[in-house]
């Protein structure tokens, strides 16, 4: 027997329409690229998003077309999230830190019809004009006064586009499983893989984030996503904030400790979200100034493991630290470490220990750990296994990439995260390792395999391995271990020169060490674990 309730499609634009009607005066504050502060609100953003959707339709954008952004966190980027998906097109958020090859790949693979870009990224686009589709159009996210001279042909000014359209526009109806946004994530090797979110998955994620992190979202509170809008939808903040009428503060391009401090302090931001690297920068700044930013009450940290010392330092300042785990493929919240009773009754030291774990699952996400044969392991806090997840907000495959899609879903339909973990009886997740051969530096991925393939092409190298070395500021940095060919010893400079042009500067190994042979595992693979243990304390050059 079917229930008799109405069946209305869940749509992202309804979040903005709700905020426009119910929380029109709640503010959206942005630091602009000109370093001034811009203030708007949900009422105005609703009107501007409507006009931008109408402008996009007049440019020929239709349901399913990909429209890209190459931009920092600011109000224009935020309104594009809604203007693009609202008309049924797909908002492809491009990570500007991708290498040239990866950038070329994602724009062509997504077949972006338009790229909206911040002024900062003009040189990147100019350098890729020949490599991007010839039909792609470009819009500079600025106003007439700040339009610069540039070599991008027929470039359009963002504010002109809005000015030309009126707000007499009704967002269309479409099914809730319609694609809404696309975010590429780096693979262990080869090209990035596109995670294609739907309206349904996004609205459900927005709801579950508000429920799970109920302290972060409320009218009268301000939230600052340091996590970029091009990283897994800024962890869902752009949707959960309007849903609850929470004010947003966007940091623009300045993510150093001093700039983040000033923005938090001036706006009395309550909750700020970011990777451990930015918190380390903020902590240094707090030490310099002798006090935490006024009003800061909570920080959400994820993307990499948060060190206990970092958690303790913020907790000592009465900033509640919530450690979260997730992935681009999980929308991204999978677990959070928000402590509830009875854990809040525990002695402080035990609470800090619990906060160092990756937390417990959020509603609608199921977790399992298995051995290498797929056998489910107990949640006893001791059994270490491959972490899988399942749910309405978890990717079921990758955009136009059958091979990668098949590889990542197990026979029972669970998504393989590539993380290795324990789960205890109370559901606390602890990540113990990463099966995927990747290094995470400042929240961004570096593929060890891609680096190794290129190093192996050097005539003086017999064998090599790239491993992750713990790093205080960046969490992890790559170290290149080289077995030179007989009678040769290529220098660090020579090897870096050999890699340059193929990788972004920040993806380059920080140092090179030499070995006569590489340690092997029982199955004959290079034992990176042995190398990681050996070089754990290696002092990197940078």
Supply the residues annotated as catalytic.
Answer: 185, 329, 440, 445
Q: How many whole angstroms from its chain centre is CA 516?
A: 39
Task: Decide: is 328 part of the binding site for ligand AMP (CB under 6 A).
Answer: yes
Give the residue with the Cβ less far from ligand AMP, 79 or 329: 329
Percentage helix, strand, coil for the chain under 3-state DSSP, each rounded to 5 = 35, 25, 40
State which residue, 276 or 490, has the beta carbon closest to ligand AMP.
276
Q: Give the length of the chain.
A: 542
Q: Which stretch binds ligand AMP (CB under 6 A): 55-63, 120-128, 243-251, 301-309?
A: 301-309
- Does 95 interact with ligand AMP (rule: CB under 6 A)? no
Q: Which residue is nearest to ligand AMP (CB)?
A: 328
Pairing, β 360-361 against β 247-250? unpaired
- Segment interacting with ligand AMP, rule: CB under 6 A, options 10-18, 53-61, 158-166, 320-328: 320-328
185 binds ligand AMP (CB under 6 A): yes
Report the residue number, 431 or 540, with the smaller CB distance to ligand AMP.
431
Please give the C-alpha separations between residue 110 and each of 104, 181, 340, 524, in angstroms, as whole numbers. Answer: 10, 11, 42, 38
Binding mask 330-369 for ligand AMP (x = CB under 6 A): --x-------------------------x-----------
Site for ligand AMP, residues 209 to 268, rule: CB under 6 A: 232
Closest CA to 235 of 142, 326, 308, 160: 326
d(CA 489, CA 532): 22
- Print the binding letters for residues 125-164 with ligand AMP: x by CB under 6 A, - otherwise: ----------------------------------------
144: CB partners within 8 A, 6+ apart? 157, 159, 160
Nearer to ligand AMP, 138 or 445 (CB): 445
Query: Which has the closest alpha carbon to 228: 444, 7, 424, 432?
Result: 444
- Position among 17, 193, 323, 357 found at the interface with ligand AMP (CB under 6 A): 323
Q: How far is CA 522 from CA 386, 525, 526, in A?
A: 19, 7, 9
* Distance in Å, CB of 185 to ligand AMP, minimum: 5
Q: DSSP states of 423-455 as a string?
A: E-TT--EEEEEESS-EEEETTEEEEHHHHHHHH
Residue 377: HSE in the Cβ half-sphere, 13 Å Cα cutoff = 20
Segment contacting ligand AMP (CB under 6 A): 8-16, 86-94, 150-158, 324-332? 324-332
Q: Count residues binding ligand AMP (CB under 6 A).
A: 19
Kindly identify the residues of this chain, within the stretch 422-451, that bind ligand AMP according to CB under 6 A: 431, 434
* Residue from 195, 125, 116, 198 nearest 157 by CA: 116
List residues near ligand AMP by CB under 6 A. Answer: 185, 232, 302-305, 323-328, 332, 358, 417-419, 431, 434
């Amino acid at each position: 027997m079917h229930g008799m309730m109405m069946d209305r499609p869940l749509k992202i634009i309804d979040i903005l329409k709700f905020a426009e009607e119910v929380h029109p005066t709640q503010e959206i504050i942005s630091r602009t690229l000109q370093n001034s502060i811009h203030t708007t609100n949900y009422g105005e953003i609703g009107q501007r998003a409507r006009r931008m959707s109408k402008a996009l339709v007049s440019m020929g954008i239709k349901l399913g077309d990909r429209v890209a952004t190459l931009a920092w966190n600011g109000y224009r980027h935020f309104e594009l999230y809604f203007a693009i998906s609202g008309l049924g097109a797909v908002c492809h958020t491009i990570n500007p830190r991708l290498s040239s090859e990866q950038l070329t790949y994602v724009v062509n693979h997504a077949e972006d019809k338009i790229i909206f870009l911040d002024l900062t990224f003009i040189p990147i686009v100019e350098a890729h004009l020949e490599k991007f589709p010839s039909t792609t159009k470009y819009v500079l996210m600025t106003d007439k006064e700040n339009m610069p001279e540039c070599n991008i042909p027929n470039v359009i000014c963002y504010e002109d586009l809005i000015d030309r359209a009126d707000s007499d526009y009704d967002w269309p109806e479409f099914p809730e499983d319609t694609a809404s946004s696309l975010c590429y994530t780096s693979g262990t090797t080869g090209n990035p893989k596109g995670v294609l979110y739907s309206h349904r998955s996004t609205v459900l994620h927005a709801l579950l984030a508000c429920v799970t992190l109920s302290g972060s979202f409320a009218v009268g509170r301000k939230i600052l996503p340091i996590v970029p809008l091009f990283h897994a939808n800024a962890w869902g903040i752009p949707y959960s904030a309007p849903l609850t009428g929470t004010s947003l503060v966007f940091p623009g391009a300045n993510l150093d400790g001093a700039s983040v401090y000033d923005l938090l302090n001036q706006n009395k931001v309550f909750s700020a979200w970011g990777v451990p690297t930015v918190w380390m920068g903020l902590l240094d700044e707090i030490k310099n100034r002798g006090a935490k930013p006024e009003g800061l009450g909570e920080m959400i940290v994820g993307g990499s493991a948060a060190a206990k010392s970092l958690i303790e330092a913020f907790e000592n300042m009465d900033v509640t630290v919530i450690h979260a785990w997730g992935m681009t493929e999980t929308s991204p919240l999978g677990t959070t470490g928000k402590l509830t009773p009875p854990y809040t009754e525990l002695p402080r030291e035990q609470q800090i220990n619990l906060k160092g774990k990756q937390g417990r699952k959020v509603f609608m996400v199921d977790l399992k750990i298995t051995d290498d044969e797929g056998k489910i392991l107990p949640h006893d806090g001791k059994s270490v296994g491959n972490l899988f997840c399942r749910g309405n907000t978890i990717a079921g495959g990758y955009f136009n990439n059958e091979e990668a899609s098949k590889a990542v879903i197990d026979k029972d339909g669970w998504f393989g995260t590539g993380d290795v973990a324990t789960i205890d009886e109370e559901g606390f997740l602890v990540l113990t390792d990463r099966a995927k051969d990747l290094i995470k530096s400042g929240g961004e991925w570096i593929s060890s395999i891609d680096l190794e393939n290129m190093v192996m092409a050097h005539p003086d190298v017999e064998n090599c391995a790239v491993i992750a070395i713990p790093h205080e500021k960046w969490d992890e940095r790559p170290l290149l271990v080289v077995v030179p060919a007989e009678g040769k010893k290529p220098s660090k400079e020579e090897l870096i020169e050999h890699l340059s042009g193929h990788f972004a500067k920040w993806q380059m190994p920080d140092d090179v060490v030499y070995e006569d042979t590489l340690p092997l595992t029982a199955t004959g693979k290079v034992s990176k674990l042995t190398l990681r243990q050996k070089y754990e304390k290696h002092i990197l050059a940078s």
